[in-house]
A and B are shown apart, each in its own frame.
Chain A
Amino acid sequence: MPPKPALVAALETGLKAADWLSLRAVWGGGTMIFIAAIIVSVDVIARKILGISLGGADELSGYAFAIGTTWALAFTLLRRANVRVDALYQHLPNQVCALLDLLALVALGTFATLLARYGFEVAAESFTRNSMSNTQLKTPLWVPQGMWFLGLALFVVTLGLMLLRGVAALVLGDWASIRALFSARTIEEDAQEEAAYALANKEIPKV
């Protein structure tokens, strides 16, 4: 194999970094949601048994959910977990599929970029107007909205890196790399994963 062009090598380093970051973002966001579940539970129990409400548990869990979701977008993308209808796709030749993979990245990129742009405006406007939530907590809204936007930004950057890597592969005629980057997950892959989780915890009952 000929040595990789410097650009491709740089992009692959970038993608590795995005992968590293996206995994941390998932743990961070997931932990937030996990902690929110515990706070909400404590709130419910305290309210019913002790008759006191901590207040704001619902609001905080809403923020944790919003932030956790966008922080997981890049991870979902890198694991190719975005649902695609492959009824036609699976019957097409490899090179056509590779082109459709690139098209899929362009379409996702278009939508995600606009989402991030207008998401930024939401956070920026809350900041300049100093908007606060209409609740006991009086949360300065730009904080959760800003963190929510960071997830969208990571998503867009990751999409950009994948798209550039894909285009570079197209120029080099490296079809396999495009497929490896963003081929549609087959239902077989999804099922294998579910099965693997279940089997990992197997303990056969005695009958």
Chain B
Amino acid sequence: MIATTLILLLVLMALAIPVAASMGVLGLLLEKIYSQLPLQRAMGEVAWSASNEFLLVSVPLFILLGEILLRAGFAERMYGALIKWVSWLPGGLMHSNIAACALFAATSGSSVATAATVGTVALPQAKRFGYNERIFLGTLAAGGTLGILIPPSINMIIYAVLTNTSVPKLYLAGIIPGIVLTLMFMLTILLLCAWRPAWGGKRVLATWSERTASLAHLIPPLGIFLVVVGSIYAGIATPTEAASLGVVASLGLAQWAGRLNFAMLREAIEGTMRSTAMVMLIVLAAYFLNFVISSIGLTTALTGFIEGLGWSPAAMLLAVVIFYVILGCFMETLSMMITTIPIIAPVMFKLGFDPIWFGIMIILLVETALVTPPVGLNLFVVQNLRKSGSLNDVIIGSIPFVIALFVMLLVLSLFPQLALWLPSLAS
């Protein structure tokens, strides 16, 4: 049963059948082969209940928030302010790229939006200051991935829905690893510049009065962060309500910057709805497939099979990491999460891994997937922002940061407390 399912799924996917259809059709085929009952009749109920699951409502809201923030025009001033604070370091503006990504990540739940927004304002500076262009591009592609690790995070919501874990706990768990990874990215730049000083380009020095004056430009992103993430921990709002508040706050911000107009809203809504429908069709198919899989006893068979392997938890974890690194090279990341987590996560939980900690590991693996070729979306986004040169520049420039991500995975495996300490304080 396990082999048949796996082969069917691989064949469907390899034939480039849309992921949602692959999962739906796989569910139908499994029903035909293994079930006496007409499982497909439950499809309507399963789909309707998934369709108005309140936590999932936050997904389009977070996408919309990102779409509005991208157009709200505060990134330029935020970037300018961060330059004054961190660009005295060897590597100059490359540090402000990472810092700006981390700060923007605290308002946005998407890695692609983070790389696109910060990339737009940063790229025109690369040549002016004589940085190594490849590393500069790498800081943007890799820095952008912080978008889903530092809360809010769309991917964490999807993980929470798929595994019945708490979004507030996941958000808390992402904060320290997010800060550590930000520092590791900056350390990577420092190490590269120590090794090849010429790559570091010109540093930018600022006086303390300039620095203090620039702090005003950090208020908009911090304000959005407080509204969206702060409201959850102040006990004011659920994640979905927080996302709603974020949308309203971002509208206010766009209005204040004189960027709010009908055309901009229409564009933001079209983009939001397209991404939402794309993800939700996969979610609906996945709910149906999971219903079939558990009805025919495949989940139990799979858990039994994996336990029968007798692998130690550490070996199993290593296998999962390798699996996601490879899969992440070929698959869009949300589809990858929705197709695999319902199967893999229960097995890992049974082996004794903490669901919150495992969630952060998954997010780190998704971040890695976003900057590994051939299907690393962030690489392509950065390449498209600069519109010249070869994609290989971005790929090569990202390699040091992919290594940093691997180190981060190792660190988090050895010190799970990095993720679990803040949530443990809350409960």
Query: Which interface class (under 10, 10 to 19, 20 to 34, 35 or more) fits B?
Result: 35 or more
Using CB atoms and an 8 Å cutoff, list the residues of chain A in contact with chain B: 26-27, 29-31, 33-34, 36-38, 40-41, 43-44, 48, 58, 61-66, 68-73, 75-76, 79, 81-89, 97, 100, 103-104, 107-108, 110-111, 114-115, 117-122, 144-145, 148, 184, 187-188, 190-192, 194-207
Chain B residues lying within 8 Å of A107, measured Cβ to Cβ, are: 12, 17-18, 21-22, 24-25
Check if A41 sits within 8 Å of B71, measured CB to CB. no
Q: How many A-B residue pairs have CB under 8 A?
A: 263
Chain A residues lying within 8 Å of B332, measured Cβ to Cβ, are: 83
**A65 CA to B237 CA in the complex, in Å?**
18
- Is B197 on the interface with A (CB-CB < 8 A)? no
- A84: contacting residue among B19, B44, B270, B277, CB under 8 A: B19
- B40: contacting residue among A34, A104, A118, CB under 8 A: A118
Chain A residues lying within 8 Å of B381, measured Cβ to Cβ, are: 191, 194-195
Chain B residues lying within 8 Å of A190, measured Cβ to Cβ, are: 377, 380
**A190 CA to B243 CA in the complex, in Å?**
25
Check if B248 sits within 8 Å of A26, measured CB to CB. no
Quick one: given A73-B277, A199-B120, are A205 and B14 in contact (CB under 8 Å)?
Answer: no
Chain A residues lying within 8 Å of B14, measured Cβ to Cβ, are: 85, 87-88
Check if A204 sits within 8 Å of B76, measured CB to CB. yes
- Is B276 on the interface with A (CB-CB < 8 A)? yes
The list of the 6 closest CB pairs from A to B, nearest first, reads A118-B44, A111-B24, A191-B380, A195-B384, A62-B52, A30-B269
- A122: contacting residue among B48, B259, B284, CB under 8 A: B48
- Is B54 on the interface with A (CB-CB < 8 A)? yes
- B16: contacting residue among A65, A114, A184, CB under 8 A: A184
Check if B280 sits within 8 Å of A83, measured CB to CB. no
Quick one: given A83-B278, A118-B41, are A104 and B380 in contact (CB under 8 Å)?
Answer: no
* B272 nearest CB across to chain A (Å): 6
Check if B269 sits within 8 Å of A34, measured CB to CB. yes
Task: Describe A's contact surface by its main secondary structure.
Answer: helix
From B77-85, B182-190, B348-356, B413-421, give the one contacting chain A: B77-85
Check if B51 sits within 8 Å of A66, measured CB to CB. yes
Chain A residues lying within 8 Å of B271, measured Cβ to Cβ, are: 197
**A79 CA to B276 CA in the complex, in Å?**
13
What residue in chain B is nearest A202 (Cβ atoms)?
Answer: B120
* B381 nearest CB across to chain A (Å): 5
Check if A82 sits within 8 Å of B57, measured CB to CB. no
- A108: contacting residue among B21, B71, B80, CB under 8 A: B21
Could you tell me which residues of chain B, from 233 to 262, have a CB within 8 Å of some CB in chain A? 236-237, 240-241, 243-245, 247-248, 259
- Is B385 on the interface with A (CB-CB < 8 A)? yes
Chain A residues lying within 8 Å of B243, measured Cβ to Cβ, are: 37
**Most chain B C-beta atoms within 10 Å of own C-beta, residue among A34, A85, A121:** A85
A-B contact pairs, 16 of them (CB 8 A): A30-B269, A30-B272, A34-B269, A36-B57, A58-B54, A66-B52, A69-B277, A82-B21, A97-B16, A107-B24, A108-B17, A111-B21, A191-B380, A194-B113, A198-B120, A203-B73
- Is B148 on the interface with A (CB-CB < 8 A)? no
Quick one: given A83-B282, A88-B14, are A187 and B60 in contact (CB under 8 Å)?
Answer: no
Given A30-B270, A76-B281, A107-B21, 10 more pairs with CB closer than 8 A = A30-B272, A33-B64, A41-B245, A44-B241, A85-B19, A87-B14, A115-B43, A144-B52, A205-B80, A205-B83
Chain A residues lying within 8 Å of B285, measured Cβ to Cβ, are: 111
Chain B residues lying within 8 Å of A194, measured Cβ to Cβ, are: 112-113, 116, 381, 384
Residues 73-102 of chain B: 1 if any A CB is under 8 Å from the residue's CB, otherwise 0? 100110110010000000001000000000
- Is B20 on the interface with A (CB-CB < 8 A)? yes
Chain B residues lying within 8 Å of A201, measured Cβ to Cβ, are: 70-71, 73, 120, 259
Chain B residues lying within 8 Å of A66, measured Cβ to Cβ, are: 48, 51-52
Chain A residues lying within 8 Å of B191, measured Cβ to Cβ, are: none
Check if B377 sits within 8 Å of A114, measured CB to CB. no
Chain B residues lying within 8 Å of A38, measured Cβ to Cβ, are: 244, 247-248
